[in-house]
Structure 1
């Protein structure tokens, strides 16, 4: 076992951006990923009292239809368009003009004025062979010299029905061949195609052809829209998409990846993509992936009525307003900078701690959580990794500040080695002290002797492993002089107290805390048997870490005692996968904090082989979720392939808005596990970060639904931890660009969106 501490050469780290100090696996089978410029989605919403039924983009402006009236988008508001026609049913852009399909005719807008061009009731409009074409329910017209000319042949339409064709090629019709009822028209492969209710028609100017599809059929008679795009003609139905290629018609449904089969409208995107409106949100279809944009998180409402694009901006008309998705150039480095600014502007920081912000009586306040240290831990780790990579003194200052907060949790308690879950000030905090503690028991709050602070007891294993994880990283990567001594002594005191209490945490009242239990009477008996793996893993981590940092024989003997109880063997199956009641996502967080810490210090080959078996089993269970936190820990320790490319993709998919809007995915038609993965925990699908609100570091990618009605704003520290961990271990390379606009965001804008700055007493000096 190691008896030496880690003294890192920060200059090397800062210049190389690649660290081999904390782990040095014999091989690295993963490939470093470039932090290339990508397009980041940015959400905006414009709510309306009535449905937006149609939308169009024209000359850089967005026009929307509300209660048959035309509005234009001005900033974040819809304003009534001047002199626009009323009773409009559809808005369309075609031929460099904006067209309003109204109840009393067709109107054209050239950017200056509206002009009526036809008195007929037009149902659709498109470009075909370089000219605007319009359709009524039973006729098609071409726009020529300012007016619409009918395409109906003088001798009427012909049919593709061979029974009506005579020997000389003429056709005999008892009743005239009808073109309609036409719902939509589109130009595909040089020919006009008409969508009739549940039926696709090919029209060459003479023949109304219903016999041109050799293979396949439309999945439903309930057809909604049609889009011609390159080699394909798409049809939207309530049972998926139909796609015409040549003479073959095939379906795209949930099993193929379509998130919602009940589709309503179609629009061409800006990057060889197709946008699909549905009854439950919008979908972006690319060549090899699907992006789902649901209500609340991205859109004002569920029902998508129409979609329009303008450059890299997408306008989505819903029953509750207009959803806008802008695509802006970003790198992951810029995204990290954005999230750091978010922490400042939303007031997540307080006295070195990181807090969630929530709405209380209409005001944003910081939550005094049940785990102030645990929620600060990812940020402390992130700033440590950032400093090790960049040498940025601001990152070092942030790390020191958060470390002091972690140290304060222990210093505020009269008992050496015991520490608080949370700290509260009656004069500075607007959140109330929570009344509940662990497992629904009453909370235990204690006042300091000067009366300025209250601290919460009943400390759990969660807080302890979070402290060992982050403080040990601080010790190894950032701490200097007195800081290193304080970090080492803090972990020593906590580990010592756990041993002295008989492998439990004893509270101020002399009682064992609800979840601070690592003793065999708990873990090796039915009462706590479900926790024997994870809690045993934690206890081993405490002992190995304390011994490595201090060299104190007490911790070596403590570690041996745990081995004698077979705690190391129990770690192999520490990840519970059954029954469902024993599966806890936060335990996964604790496990990977333990692995990352334990396997830095444990050097006994026999023990390491056991811990690596545990890690291999646990990561295989978590692998289907494709979360960088798990994969980077696994890859850093083992050097094995850890799907580094998918981790960069995951980080790019995080939403910028950290408000916890509601999200719903359980209704989707594409709930299946991706090929190459297996679900061991019952998860039906890995949900992309794009399709859920920002959640805390122990997020579950298989949780289909969630959110807090937009009344809570989450700290994005999980991203910061994973990005900078990725940079530190070399999974992610530094951006190749030096353009400030692509690697950073404007700071110190003087904006305050969330909780006001803390105005209570200052934190006492901790050393």
Structure 2
């Protein structure tokens, strides 16, 4: 049975709710495929649903995901075009037409471009334009020659005296716009009415460069691609489109009309889609086989992008966010990210996908645990509850495997079941600390950091509040009690098996209120306060009341206000933002003192204002759920729709772009040059940064998409996102590919013990 969504008031009870729930409407999701070729793809066209491409001046057609030579097609080909319901190819020997059955030579001349004008096929050589009439190309050149628009050559009776004949060429491209034929000559736009060659028809503006590449008429505008941006003719005015206008790359190469009122732009560094006043950038590795785009062809909801390294296809499929969540859940299963209740990224080892036993398995599992808790609270699905319990038990195991109550491991490695090796490095590159279990089945990793502790308190407290029953609730409460108790007993630090303080498990004033650790006083103090308030709320033990009072005497609460570091750059750590919002979401659920609550809200307000420009749902939803204030819920939903489906960490590059500016209405406090859409980067973990311009891992790692699942189901739980109105299963779910293995092989080793 499905349950109704639970609203934010159930956990935070804000005095108002100024944000509006966002509809989970059907949208078009990009699905990519890269087809690599041994040589440059110079031209591409779609005819009767089939993609044709030119490689080494030969015509190929796409069959599945490979190109096959079109055996009867002409050779020495230069350009592919579809026009008038036929496929055309220009060659050194003339112009050929394909009708679906055979290639027919239509003209012996060397044509440079083809277009539709007044519902008729027109073609141009370097100096002349022809119209197709009853299977023959007829020249448009008047018997008396072309006329000029230069008034100095026009006599009173309308005749013209010309010392030299007027020429159309050299023609680069032709295009039809508003019922008129336009000619692009190198660095010059010409209007041609059948007689007059008019180079002086605009009243305002000029081309941004003489290095012109392509031209396309689309609706009310005529677009010209140049190496310094695009020119746009509208009426009698020419204006420029540059990086400052939002064009990601100014060095443009080709143009093509889209399928939904959009325009596709090829560049020297990727492809661009302009739609509804938005710019979508598709770069090499992540989307395309190569950077340089030579041609683009568009079919019904699919785009073919010809590059120097092959063809990138971008297919647009109808999705809802609910379906996307289902897709990512299926991905976790198919790719083998799950192991013993933990969630892992994958990497390639000797040609095989292997789960990484990381430096922070508990922290990386926490978003998935929270996601399944929120999902269960929204849907009541027992499968979500089982997943939550499985991940909680894994996090519980991290503490149970250690012989010291309250200290817990970063990771657990099987001596027989794991293909990954025990990592040699720990925090900050220090040597890893691995300890064997008495039975010889496992090693567990010590030197536990503050990262793992706040991840545990956040996710386990959500599990306690939303999912746990009976013994589960008791185990969750006791786990957090033991950890909080151990931190106090150790003097506000974590002590490892050797009795030494771990590298980053420090909340003591000797560290935070001294120069060495002063930069962490805000974030670590916020964490320590969270530990105490959570332990007080769940256990009622007066020891934690005393611990909280000690922190307040050290003035830790005041330090939380400026916990977010914005300067100097070397002190800005993306993961600290993750820790901070885990703390806010937990601390502000449990704190009862109104004066303290106001301090923590001031801290949250300051921190969210810094993070607001990135438009990441995690930050927006935490802020909105706690305060009830406007949290740009529309931007958060848009962000979720823009996540890429391919979870491989392909390289992405944005630092070269010409549109690196902060959107109006935002301030970059962290010196970020631009908010980068998830569409323009690879899938990242929850602590992802939207201002990191470049990244990736050469496609050699596969990231778990747990961050999306947490953000989506959190949005559903708090009412930021409505359930889809459609019941069409194709729009709200994905087919389960049971038993399908794409990544790491299933774990085959000893199982974790049962504790209750």
The question of a shared fold, defined as TM-score above 0.5 by the shorter chain, is answered with: yes
Q: Give deviations 1:668-715, integer Å, cap 9, x for gaps.
A: 000000000000000000000000000111000000000000000000
Q: Indicate the SS of the match to 1:107.
A: strand
Q: Hey, what does 1:320 align to over in structure 2?
A: 309
Alignment partner of 1:221 out of 193, 207, 210: 210
Q: Hey, what does 1:710 align to over in structure 2?
A: 699
Matches within 5 A, 1:51-130: 51-130=40-119
Q: Give deviations 1:75-121, integer Å, cap 9, x for gaps.
A: 11111113001110000000000000111100000011100000000
Alignment partner of 2:730 out of 741, 747, 751: 741
Q: Hey, what does 1:180 align to over in structure 2?
A: 169
Alignment partner of 2:590 out of 601, 622, 625: 601
Contact 2:271-2:282 at 8 Å conserved across structures: yes
Contact 1:17-1:390 at 8 Å conserved across structures: no
Q: Indicate the SS of the match to 1:763.
A: coil
Q: Give deviations 1:513-547, integer Å, cap 9, x for gaps.
A: 00000000000000100000000000000000001
Q: Give deviations 1:293-318, integer Å, cap 9, x for gaps.
A: 00000000000000010010000000
Asked if 1:576 is matched to 2:565, the reply is yes
Q: Indicate the SS of the match to 2:516.
A: helix
Q: Hey, what does 1:689 align to over in structure 2?
A: 678
Q: Give deviations 1:363-393, integer Å, cap 9, x for gaps.
A: 1000000000000000000000000000000
The whole-number CA distance in structure 2 between the counterparts of 1:300 and 1:123 is 27
Deviates more, 1:601-610 or 1:747-756: 747-756
Give the alignment's TM-score, normalised by structure 1.
0.98
Q: Hey, what does 1:154 align to over in structure 2?
A: 143
Q: Hey, what does 2:651 align to over in structure 1?
A: 662
**1:21 offset after TM fit, Å?**
1.6
Alignment partner of 2:535 out of 540, 546, 553: 546
Q: Hey, what does 1:8 align to over in structure 2?
A: none
Alignment partner of 1:512 out of 501, 517, 520: 501
Alignment partner of 1:208 out of 193, 197, 200: 197
Q: Hey, what does 2:433 align to over in structure 1?
A: 444
Alignment partner of 2:299 out of 298, 310, 314: 310
Matches within 5 A, 1:498-509: 498-509=487-498
Contact 1:421-1:458 at 8 Å conserved across structures: yes
Asked if 1:363 is matched to 2:352, the reply is yes
Q: Hey, what does 1:166 align to over in structure 2?
A: 155
**1:18 offset after TM fit, Å?**
3.2
Contact 2:264-2:273 at 8 Å conserved across structures: yes
Contact 2:5-2:716 at 8 Å conserved across structures: no
The whole-number CA distance in structure 1 between the counterparts of 2:691 and 2:617 is 15
The whole-number CA distance in structure 2 between the counterparts of 1:210 and 1:692 is 43
Alignment partner of 1:398 out of 387, 391, 394: 387
Contact 2:5-2:377 at 8 Å conserved across structures: no
Q: Hey, what does 1:28 align to over in structure 2?
A: 17
Matches within 5 A, 1:121-520: 121-520=110-509
The whole-number CA distance in structure 1 between the counterparts of 2:512 and 2:201 is 71
Q: Hey, what does 1:537 align to over in structure 2?
A: 526
Which runs of no fewer than 5 residues in structure 1 stay unpaired? 1-10
Contact 1:18-1:389 at 8 Å conserved across structures: no
**1:19 offset after TM fit, Å?**
4.8
The whole-number CA distance in structure 1 between the counterparts of 2:721 and 2:463 is 21
The whole-number CA distance in structure 1 between the counterparts of 2:755 and 2:371 is 22
The whole-number CA distance in structure 2 between the counterparts of 1:34 and 1:82 is 51
Contact 2:258-2:264 at 8 Å conserved across structures: yes
**1:20 offset after TM fit, Å?**
2.7
Q: Hey, what does 1:50 align to over in structure 2?
A: 39
**1:271 offset after TM fit, Å?**
1.1
Q: Hey, what does 2:632 align to over in structure 1?
A: 643
The whole-number CA distance in structure 2 between the counterparts of 1:467 and 1:685 is 32
Q: Indicate the SS of the match to 1:571.
A: helix
Contact 1:387-1:478 at 8 Å conserved across structures: yes
Please tell me the root mean square deviation across aligned C-alpha atoms, in Å. 0.8
Q: Give deviations 1:172-221, integer Å, cap 9, x for gaps.
A: 11111111000100011111100000000000000010010110000000
Contact 2:35-2:65 at 8 Å conserved across structures: yes
The whole-number CA distance in structure 1 between the counterparts of 2:428 and 2:324 is 37
The whole-number CA distance in structure 2 between the counterparts of 1:26 and 1:717 is 31
Q: Give every structure 1 segment of 4 or more consecutive aligned residues whose post-TM-superposition deviation is greater than 3 Å.
A: 16-19
**1:477 offset after TM fit, Å?**
0.2
**1:130 offset after TM fit, Å?**
1.4
The whole-number CA distance in structure 2 between the counterparts of 1:109 and 1:342 is 42
**1:149 offset after TM fit, Å?**
0.3
Q: Give deviations 1:477-522, integer Å, cap 9, x for gaps.
A: 0000000000000000000000000000000011000000000000
Asked if 1:619 is matched to 2:608, the reply is yes
**1:17 offset after TM fit, Å?**
4.5
Q: Hey, what does 2:618 align to over in structure 1?
A: 629
The whole-number CA distance in structure 1 between the counterparts of 2:725 and 2:180 is 47
Q: Give deviations 1:535-590, integer Å, cap 9, x for gaps.
A: 00000000000010000000011011000000000000000000001100000000
**1:287 offset after TM fit, Å?**
2.5
Q: Indicate the SS of the match to 2:171.
A: coil
Alignment partner of 1:719 out of 708, 715, 727: 708
Asked if 1:567 is matched to 2:556, the reply is yes
**1:720 offset after TM fit, Å?**
0.1
Which runs of no fewer than 5 residues in structure 2 stay unpaired? none
Contact 2:5-2:719 at 8 Å conserved across structures: no
The whole-number CA distance in structure 1 between the counterparts of 2:67 and 2:755 is 55
Aligned residues: 756
**1:615 offset after TM fit, Å?**
0.1
Q: Hey, what does 1:4 align to over in structure 2?
A: none
Contact 2:8-2:625 at 8 Å conserved across structures: no
**1:636 offset after TM fit, Å?**
0.1
Contact 2:5-2:717 at 8 Å conserved across structures: no
Contact 2:253-2:266 at 8 Å conserved across structures: yes
- Provide closer, same or farther for how the CA distance between residues 210 and 726 of structure 1 changes in structure 2, counting only shifts above 3 A: same
Alignment partner of 1:759 out of 744, 748, 751: 748
Contact 2:5-2:718 at 8 Å conserved across structures: no
The whole-number CA distance in structure 1 between the counterparts of 2:366 and 2:36 is 38
**1:14 offset after TM fit, Å?**
1.9
Contact 2:343-2:368 at 8 Å conserved across structures: yes
Give the alignment's TM-score, normalised by structure 2.
0.99
